[in-house]
Amino acid sequence: MPVPRINMRKIKDVLRLKLDAKLSHQQIAAALGISKGVVTKYVGLAAAAGLDWSVVQDADEAALERRLLVAPERPRDHVQPDYGRLHQELRRKGMTLMLLWEEYRADHADAHTYAYSQFCENYRRFARQLKRSMRQVHRAGEKLFIDYAGPTIGLSDGSRAHIFVAALGASSYTYACATPRETMADWIESTARALNFFGGVPQLIVPDNPKAMIADANRYEPRSNDTVLDFARHYGTSILPARPRHPQDKAKAESAVQIVERWIMARLRHQQFASVHEVNAAMAPLLARLNDKPFQKLPGSRASAFAELDAPALLPLPLQRYEMAHFKTVRVHIDYHVEVERHRYSVPHALVGQVLEARITAAVVEILHRGQRVASHARNPRQGGFTTFAAHMPAAHRAHMEWTPQRLIHWGQSIGPATAEAVTRLMAENKHPEHGYRACLGLLSLAKRYGKPRLESACTLALQLGACRYRHVRDILANHRDQGKPAAAGDWVSPDHAHVRGPDYYQ
């Protein structure tokens, strides 16, 4: 194990005892508890540097160390890189220090430039001077950090306005708005506003672990709730919550919240607001001023860094803004309907008995089977009602539903006027038209077995007899009575019979 070097204070004592007190090496070593070799070394370095006690006495420890221990470098006229620009360039995707060094060498080919190792060392020394949050490397368009500020703004009705804050990782471009509460709807709506403000979508959205959004705040496999996942699918992004109790995972959000509290909320502390909308109206100019404020140690501002870094790398917004939705697990009843908020909506009849998922928005109810939409209905608030699509019904049910009195009469007219009249009478004999549907269908189906001409003749005979029910027409066709000669027209006279008593019997 190497012996640690003695500190500069003891070296200065060595030089004081030698140059000022004029003690021997042996006396100095005994007084300070070091070897004579060490005394000889530093006395020799002082003599080589041309130092006397007056110079040593007035020099601080850093200056004395440079004179004694640091070898003088040959003066070289190196071109200094713009380390602030390099720090911002490293936030771009695929950017490395090697590439930046090559560009630096190419831009100053005719001048003295640093070697790669010294270039990297100088940049890291510069980066260590920045704030801790600024030293994190965030790729352009990669992450959006979101959070709510701890302080709130009071309203005249006694309620409080909660301040939502979002900041992009690479540029620190910040968005803030006020919401009435911190529910899931407030989180989702505020994030959608932020995406519209930025004009694009990042690859990841990093929230804390609020119960309103995260169903399971697991350290290794966090799980967002169904509405949050649906929001992420709509915008083509992902939700990656920070680890529980690890604020460094969202340091950008923590910093942005602090800046919003100091530069926006603090300036509004003396104003009175009647609603959340008034708070947002007052915040808008202060937010623009915050984003245009120049950085302290880096070139440009949040707005200029956003235009250069994040804006070109963001994904495009979808055509429609996200509409708040919630999900419910439903089972398909035997009548191929599912129940949502006590109203029943149809699904394809083949899914009877299956467990499906209903996606419910303010205007639409969508039914999903294994992630695929199988039905979509306009939302109906009427409890106990039914919303049914004919395409979801079995063929037999659909055919039954399609029968109407007009359609049956029209079918009868295609066979003949007598058939149409028979159908009309069957309908009229029942209190409700549907009561006669099966009888009419049975009557019309006789055309398939006996042909349309014979059915028309049978219906003509049945109308003459005043018996036009299905079984009457069927018997006429089965007995071939429709093929006999029609009876002559005239008054009917009863024939004489022996068993007829006559009118005289009743006198």
Residue range 147-206, pLDDT digits in tens: 898 889 999 898 999 999 999 988 889 999 999 998 888 888 999 999 999 999 999 888
| Residue-wise pLDDT tens digits, 113-152 | 889 999 999 888 888 877 554 455 678 888 899 889 888 9
Q: Does 502 map to a domain?
A: no
Domain annotation covers residue 309: yes
What is the reported pLDDT for 285?
93
pTM for this structure? Answer: 0.54
> Quick one: three-class SS letters along 169-181?
CCCCCEEEEEECC
Last residue of a domain, one of 373, 394, 415: 394
Task: Output the CA torsion 492→497→499→502 (10° steps).
Answer: 60
Q: Are residues 390 and 407 in the same domain?
A: no
CA–CA separation, 449 and 16 (whole Å): 132
Q: Are residues 302 and 182 in the same domain?
A: yes
Residues 189 and 330 in one domain: no
> What whole-number distance in Å separates Cα of residue 334 and Cα of residue 276?
48
Helices 8-15 & 61-68 angle (0-180, nearest 10): 70
Indicate if the pLDDT at residue 253 is higher than 80.
Answer: no
* Residues 222 and 267 placed together within one structural domain of the fold: yes
Of 359, 376, 394, the last residue of a domain is: 394
Stronger pLDDT, 287 or 65, i.e. the higher one: 287
Residue 73, in any domain of the structure: no
Residue where a domain terminates, one of 27, 44, 68: 68
pLDDT for 134 equals 42
| Phi, psi for 235 (deg, rounded to 5) | -95, 0
Examine the pLDDT at 506 and tell me if it is beyond 70.
Answer: no
Indicate the SS3 state at residue 496. coil
pLDDT in tens, 369-420: 887 888 888 888 888 888 888 777 776 666 555 556 777 777 778 888 888 8
Residue 224 lies in a domain: yes
Distance of CA 213 to the CA centre of its chain: 11
Domain co-membership, 225 together with 285: yes
d(CA 194, CA 144) in angstroms, rounded, equals 9
pLDDT for residue 16 is more than 50: yes
Give the burial class of 303: count Cβ atoms within 10 A of its Cβ; 0-12 exposed, 13-18 middle, 19 or more buried.
middle
Residue entry with tokens 């994190």: 136
Question: What total of structural domains would you count in the chain?
Answer: 5
The candidate with the shortest Cα–Cα distance to 475, out of 463, 486, 485, 462, is: 462
pLDDT reported for residue 277: 93
* pLDDT at residue 73, as a whole number: 53
Q: How far apart are CA 452 and CA 411, in angstroms?
A: 11
Do 351 and 461 have their domain in common? no
- pLDDT value at 318 more than 60: yes
Q: What is the mean pLDDT of residues 315-324?
A: 87
Q: Are residues 420 and 468 in the same domain?
A: yes
Tell me if 3 is assigned to some domain.
no
Please tell me whether residues 106 and 60 are part of one structural domain.
no
**102 lies in some domain:** yes
Mean pLDDT of 229-254: 77
Q: Is the pLDDT of residue 495 over 50?
A: yes
In a domain, 74, yes or no: no
Give pLDDT, residue 316.
Answer: 92
Residue-range definition of the domain harbouring residue 150: 143-313
**Spatial separation of the C-alpha atoms in residues 437 and 51, rounded to whole Å:** 122
Which letter, b or e, does each residue of 361-390 get, where b requires 16 or more Cβ atoms within 10 Å of its Cβ? Answer: eeeebbbbbeeeebbebebeeeeeeebbee
First and final C-alpha spacing in the chain:
153
- Residue 488: phi and psi, rounded to 5, are -70, 145
Model pLDDT for residues 199-220, shown as the tens digit of each residue:
999 998 888 877 777 766 566 5
Domain co-membership, 191 together with 286: yes
The CATH code of the domain that includes 174 is 3.30.420.10
Q: Say yes or no: 250 and 210 in one domain.
A: yes
pLDDT at 499: 67
Torsion of the alpha carbons at 36, 42, 48 and 49, rounded to the nearest 10: -160
Considering only 49-58, 248-257, 268-277, 313-322, which range has the smallest mean pLDDT? 248-257
| Average of per-residue pLDDT values in the chain | 81
What would the mean pLDDT of 85-102 be, rounded to a whole number?
Answer: 84
User: Of 92, 226, 208, 89, which is closest to residue 150 (Cα–Cα)?
Assistant: 208
In a domain, 499, yes or no: no
Based on the fold, state whether residues 295 and 375 are members of the same structural domain.
Answer: no
Determine the pLDDT at residue 400.
56
Q: Is the domain of 162 the same as that of 234?
A: yes
Q: What is the mean pLDDT of residues 280-298?
A: 90
More confident residue, 76 or 152: 152
d(CA 344, CA 384): 7
pLDDT of amino acid 396: 62
